[in-house]
Amino acid sequence: MGAAFFYHLTQNPLEDTLPLLLEKATGAGWKIAVRGVEAARMDWLDQRLWQGAEDSFLPHGQAGGEHDALQPILLTIDASLANGASCIMSVDGAQISAEEVQAADRVCILFDGHDPEALSHARAQWKALTDAGCAAQYWSEESGRWEKKAEKAAA
């Protein structure tokens, strides 16, 4: 049974934070699905990941190719986990269900702390997931480093 980790982005943008989380998740041996809501945004993230730091490499692909099942990191707007991901990273308000949290090793929900809609959506997701019995943690980088600010155990 997994847990939902909420990442409140206030100091660094998604394109800087996501690669760090992807490196940790691949280091844990997980296949990852990065789920967004718009194809154009996933194209943009794809380009950003290929242009990452010189000392790192994040092998990934976009959903819809013939090798989706082989991708260690798959960027998608679809709810299916074509690469058999055990870690789902939700960006831009992509929906996550309680069943997905319970089946995954980890679910990460990244949201822009400067966007009132994103904050409202993240609060609604926290409530829906914890009300459904999912374990959840809330992480903030407000102080300049990541700190766990809240935790709810699985019911």
DSSP per-residue string spanning the chain? --EEEEEEESSS-HHHHHHHHHHHHHHTT--EEEE-S-HHHHHHHHHHHHT--TT-----EETTSTTGGG-SEEEESSSS-TT--SEEEE-TT----HHHHHHSSEEEEEEETT-HHHHHHHHHHHHHHHHTT-EEEEEE-TTSS-EEEEEE---
Mean pLDDT calculated for residue range 10-36: 95
Tokens of residue 40, six digits: 């154009």
The pLDDT assigned to 57 comes to 78
Mean pLDDT calculated for residue range 112-129: 97
pLDDT confidence tier of residue 54, bands split at 50, 70 and 90: low
The answer to whether residue 106 scores a pLDDT higher than 90 is yes
CATH code of the domain in which 48 resides? 3.40.50.10110
pLDDT confidence tier of residue 151, bands split at 50, 70 and 90: very high
Average pLDDT value over all residues in the chain: 94
Which residue range forms the structural domain that includes residue 12? 3-152
pLDDT confidence tier of residue 65, bands split at 50, 70 and 90: confident
The answer to whether residue 56 scores a pLDDT higher than 80 is no
The pLDDT assigned to 23 comes to 93
Residues 90 and 110 sit within 8 Å (Cβ to Cβ): yes
Percent of the chain with pLDDT over 70: 97
Domains held by the chain: number: 1
